[in-house]
Amino acid sequence: MNAERLEDAIEAGVAALGQQLPGGAGAKLARLIIELKRWNDRINLTSIRDLPAMVSGHILDSLAIRPHLRGTRLIDIGTGAGFPGLPLAIAEPLARMELLDSNGKKIAFVRHIIGELELNNAAAVKARAEHYAPGICFDTVFARAFAAIPELIELAGHLVSVDGVLLALKGKYPHDELRQLSSMNDLSNLWDYNVIELTVPGLESHARHIVSLRRRKAAGA
């Protein structure tokens, strides 16, 4: 699949999501996964190996959470090879995106892509979430396949602003994780959640959910 056909496939998938991309974003998203495949042939960055599968499994799966982002200061926790953060940074050029991971090889790829695509609104950070203290909290903190929900709150909850949102990207409905959260009074008394089902073009047979968590407001607040 050449770059032009790849861009067409991405733009068709984005339209199926009911979204639009800013000018030039389709070409950047195509270049992103072409580079990902090139690096993946040498360094194991992702288990998805072919370009069409990367369109649905990385690009569209990432962009599916776009309507649920809040604000302009965003961080991707445990970004790996840059997903969902890189596609979202490309699709939302006015947002400020940080992509955090402790894996040096994966962060090297993310930094390469940020430079290659001139993503001036994105920055790669090599760190562990629980140790990261940038001094300013984020409007949206999100993570895909990073940790169970209670653990995610404990590791990254400090990065969420008072009115911000923490998005946990899941496959199947996370019954066990939510039961565990409900049983932990120190967390469940502080956070409210809402579960949203997603449909991703090309992944219709795969369950996709977002657990959206917000800090519970004190009575009268």
pLDDT in tens, 162-177: 999 999 999 999 999 9
Q: What confidence score (pLDDT) does residue 189 get?
A: 86
State residue 57 phi and psi, 5-degree precision. -75, -25
Q: Are strands 138-144 and 208-215 parallel, antiparallel or unpaired?
A: unpaired
Task: Return d(Cα 111, Cα 123) in angstroms, integer.
Answer: 7
pLDDT digits (tens, 9 = 90+) for 163-221: 999 999 999 999 999 999 999 988 888 999 999 999 999 999 999 999 999 998 765 55
Distances (CA, A) of 206 to 32, 57, 168, 172: 23, 10, 17, 8
How many Cα atoms sit within 13 Å of 173 on the Cβ side? 6
Q: Is the pTM of this model over 0.75?
A: yes
State the pLDDT at residue 44.
Answer: 85
Are 129 and 155 a contacting pair, CB within 8 Å? yes
Instruction: Give the single-character DSSP code of 130.
Output: G
Residue whose token pair is 């339209």: 15
Provide the pLDDT for residue 47. 85
User: In the chain, which stretches have pLDDT less than 70?
Assistant: 1, 218-221
pLDDT value for 4:
85
Class of domain 3-215: alpha beta
**Predicted pLDDT of residue 187:** 85
Whether residue 64 contacts residue 91, with contact meaning beta carbons closer than 8 Å, is answered with no
Distance CA 135, CA 141 (A): 15
